[in-house]
Amino acid sequence: MKRYCIEYFILPIFVMIGTVLFAQTVAEQDPHWQIDWQDDFHIFNPSIWEAKNNWDHWASLAKPGEQRQKLVYLNNQNNVRVQGGSLILQSYQQTYSCPPSYWHHEHCSYQDTIPSHPPYTYTSGWVQTKNTNLLYGLVEARIKVSYGMGLNSAFWMIHKPGLPDWYYSEIDIFEMIPGYDPNENFDTLFHDHFWMSNNIHWNSVPYGFVVTNYNPNMIGDYTQWHIYTLEWTPNSIKFYLDGELIRSETNKGNFEPMQLILNIGLTNHQPNAGTFPSKMEIDWIRWYKLKKDCNAPMDYCSYNFQNHDNKVKKYIRIGGSGCSNILTSKTVLKAKEDITIFGAFEVPLGTGLNMDVRACY
């Protein structure tokens, strides 16, 4: 049974300074996280990223009249580039025709299916991780996004290729969709640059329906820099904005490896005169995994918290008869079975204790 227990607690005063806490990223608040990989975008790193080229995201499958039938993703310096220490994806209203060798389902599908092979009206950028086996962890990115009616700017994950056709798994860390709401009631929500949506989609039952769980959030101006965070575990999916938790859900169907994607797409809403050119700027991205020692118990009478290794343990038990413990700093304890504190335990002013019983993954 997973449990927390504190049998005796001396708590003179416990104060958290909110502005200091929220100025930190989620990973900075918890030393159990360690970087698995990162990109600060000094260059475009082809070992990490793939930029889609002459590709329309299977626009031939779109409903008739959908704007995305007119959009193609290109890998060139206009649409995908590193500039000034940021990755920049940029979209334009411009005519483009794919070379005939790309007129097929896996590239320029819409242009291929129309006998006259009409050119596309818009171009944009799409990058995705070459690693399609990202499974559980914490991802954070510092991003700002242009506002423009008809755009669908997204930072998201989708299941790896090669899974059964009926399986579907997607987590949208954010979608910025001006003029659009999840029920397709246009002009009712997201009509300015203060709304975003983080969404969860899954289908883990053969030939079942894809379950979609939308969630709009009003945030600060997304045309300014923000840090967007996803914590994905076997048990939960949590979304953070600038270090603050904004949504937490039980993980009901997102259990397979994924890849990470950033792109600027289009919705059904007609872009207006001020929409293009538009861009997404990514300052950095970091993927974290938990430090763990999940088969090691931790059992102490008196414990020196300064020497804590910040790894997830099998269980943590501190204190007992005649034992005395005092915190010396803000401390996070994580264990997969239980965390129990016995006897005298003091939390002085300026320190703090967070206890987290979780799956070890």
Chain segment 85-108, per-residue pLDDT in tens:
999 999 999 999 999 999 998 899
CB of 306 within 8 A of CB of 325? no
pLDDT bucket at 338, cuts 50 / 70 / 90: very high
- What's the rounded Cα separation, in Å, for the pair 26 and 21? 9
Residue 98 one-letter amino acid:
C
CB of 168 within 8 A of CB of 180? no
Contacts of 314 (CB under 8 A, 6+ apart): 294, 295, 296, 297, 298, 335, 336, 337
Residue 13: is its pLDDT beyond 80? no
What is the structure's pLDDT at 38?
A: 98
- What's the rounded Cα separation, in Å, for the pair 166 and 207? 5
Domains of the chain, CATH where assigned:
3-24+292-357 (no CATH), 34-288 (2.60.120.200)
Place of tokens 């993703």: 73
User: pLDDT for 179-222, tens place per residue?
Assistant: 654 455 444 445 566 678 889 999 877 766 678 777 777 677 89
Contacts of 233 (CB under 8 A, 6+ apart): 136, 251, 358, 359, 361
What is the structure's pLDDT at 361?
A: 87
- As given in the structure block, the two tokens for residue 83 are 């500039």
User: In terms of pTM, does the model score above 0.75?
Assistant: yes
3-state secondary structure of 87: strand
- What's the rounded Cα separation, in Å, for the pair 261 and 325? 46
Residue 145: is its pLDDT beyond 60? yes
What is the structure's pLDDT at 21?
A: 36
CB of 111 within 8 A of CB of 156? no
User: pLDDT for 301-318, tens place per residue?
Assistant: 999 998 999 999 999 999
